[in-house]
Amino acid sequence: MKTALLAALALAACAPAARAAPVEVVSAWCRPAGAGAPTAACYVTLKAAAADRLTTVASPLAGKVEVHDMSMAGGIMRMRHMTEGLPLPAGETVRMGPGGKHLMLIGPKGALTVGGKLPLTLTFQKAPAQTVTAHIVPQLPQQPQGYAPQGSR
């Protein structure tokens, strides 16, 4: 009797971590940056089956990684640290890109060279954390044709 109860408790304790499906990482890439650059930018495209949130990002090749948003205000580009993380609505593809949301690498450890790779560990509110390899490419894979943020004009 007591054994059965303990087994049930152990199962219950394991359940939440195993339940959420992993978030699909559609793409991950970084722009090159020279040695000594104070920051560098990486971009990921994410798709979550169930509503979730990208909470924190880390890389062994940067002192810190922050989720930023960029917007134009009065002709000036402004960056905002999304301290609350990046919301991932259910079934929606959330695309980061130049001029918009990005991952800001603060204190990159060394140059980001074209052709190189950079590991990024993405932590989500519900889905399990995962480490992806971002490729360092010279310029934007342009946003796919026909893609535009909802209600942008």
Of 68 and 95, which has the nearer Cβ to Cu ion? 68
Interaction of residue 104 with Cu ion, rule CB under 5 A: yes
Interaction of residue 68 with Cu ion, rule CB under 5 A: yes
- In order of 8, 26, 49, 67, 147, the CA distances from 93 in angstroms are 37, 8, 10, 17, 11
- Please choose, from the candidates 13, 79, 23, the residue with its C-alpha nearest in 3D space to the C-alpha of residue 50: 23
Report the site for Cu ion in 72-101 (rule: CB under 5 A). 79
- Please choose, from the candidates 73, 134, 131, the residue with its C-alpha nearest in 3D space to the C-alpha of residue 102: 134
Question: Cβ of residue 68: shortest distance to Cu ion, in angstroms?
Answer: 3
Of 94 and 104, which has the nearer Cβ to Cu ion? 104
Of 95 and 127, which has the nearer Cβ to Cu ion? 95
Residue showing the smallest CB distance to Cu ion in the complex? 68
Footprint on this chain of Cu ion (rule: CB under 5 A)? 68, 79, 104
